[in-house]
Chain A
Amino acid sequence: MTVSPQLDERFRAAAAAEGLLDVAYDIADSPVGPLLVAVSERGLCRISYDTEPERELESLARSFGARVLRSPRPVDEAKRELDEYFAGERTAFDLAVDIERLSPFNRSVLEELARVPYGSLTTYGTLAGRAGRPRAARAVGTIMNRNPIPIVLPCHRVVGSTGSLVGYAGGLDRKKTLLRLEGSLRTAE
Chain B
Amino acid sequence: MAAVSQFPRPRSLDTMMEAVRIPPFETLYLEHRNEVFRFLVRRVGRDRAEDAFQETFLRALRGYPGLRHGEHLRAWLYTIAVRVAADEHRRKPAPTVVREEGVRDARPEYAELEHLAGDLPAKERAAVVLRYGYDLSYADIGMALGSSEEAARQAASSGVRRLRRRRIEIA
At the interface, yes or no: B34 with Cβ under 8 Å from chain A?
yes
Contact of B24 with A57 in the complex, beta carbons under 8 Å: yes
Contact A7–B53 (Cβ < 8 Å): yes
Contact A57 B54 (CB under 8 A): no
Contact in complex: B54, A10 (CB < 8 Å): yes
Contact A2 B24 (CB under 8 A): no
Residues of B near A58 (CB, < 8 A) are: 23-24
Q: Which residues of B contact A15 (CB under 8 A)?
A: 57-58, 61
Interface 9-mer from B25-33, B95-103, B106-114, B118-126:
B25-33
What is the number of residues of chain B that contact chain A, defined by CB distance less than 8 Å? 21
Q: How far is the CB of B34 from chain A (nearest CB, A)?
A: 5
A-B pair number, CB within 8 angstroms = 63
Contact B54 A11 (CB under 8 A): yes
B19 to chain A, nearest CB (A): 13
B38 at the interface (CB under 8 A from A): yes
Known: A68-B24, A69-B25. A14 touches B33 (CB 8 A): no
Within 8 A of B (CB), among A54-70: 54, 57-58, 60-61, 65-70
Interface flags, B39-68, vs A, CB<8A=1, else 0: 001000000001001100110011011000
**Can you name the residue of chain A whose Cβ is closest to the Cβ of B50?**
A7
Beyond A1-B38, A1-B41, A3-B37, is A57–B26 a contact (Cβ under 8 Å)?
yes
Is residue A189 contacting chain B, with contact meaning CB distance below 8 A?
A: no
Judging by beta carbons under 8 Å apart, are A7 and B26 in contact?
Answer: no
B22 within 8 A of A: yes
Q: Is B25 a contact of A67 with CB atoms below 8 Å?
A: yes
Residue of B nearest to A4 (CB): B50
The answer to whether the Cβ of A18 comes within 8 Å of any Cβ in the partner chain is yes
Q: Are B58 and A69 in contact (CB under 8 A)?
A: no
CA of A70 to CA of B33 in the docked complex: distance in angstroms?
Answer: 14
B64 pairs with A67, CB closer than 8 A: yes
A48 to chain B, nearest CB (A): 14
Give Cα A70–Cα B27 distance, bound, in whole angstroms.
10
Whole-angstrom CA separation of A3 from B23 in the bound complex = 21
Decide if B24 touches A60 in the complex (CB within 8 Å). Answer: yes
* B23-A66 in contact (CB<8A): yes
Complex Cα distance A3/B37, Å?
A: 7
Q: Are A11 and B65 in contact, with the CB atoms below 8 A?
A: no
- Which residue on chain B has the smallest CB distance to residue A15? B61
A20 at the interface (CB under 8 A from B): yes
Q: Does A53 contact B (CB under 8 A)?
A: yes
A15–B38 Cα distance when bound, in Å, is 21
Please tell me which one of the listed residues A1, A54, A69 contacts residue B37 in the complex, with CB atoms under 8 A apart: A1
Q: Does A8 interact with chain B (Cβ within 8 Å)?
A: yes
Distance A21 CA – B65 CA, assembled complex (angstroms): 10
Residues in B whose Cβ lies below 8 Å from that of A20: 58, 61-62
The CA-CA distance from A1 to B33 in the complex, in Å, is: 11
Residues of chain A lying within 8 A (CB to CB) of residue B58: 11, 14-15, 18, 20
22 contacts between A and B (CB under 8 A): A1-B37, A1-B38, A3-B33, A7-B50, A7-B53, A7-B54, A10-B54, A11-B57, A14-B54, A21-B25, A21-B61, A54-B27, A57-B26, A58-B23, A58-B24, A65-B65, A66-B23, A66-B24, A66-B25, A67-B61, A69-B25, A69-B29
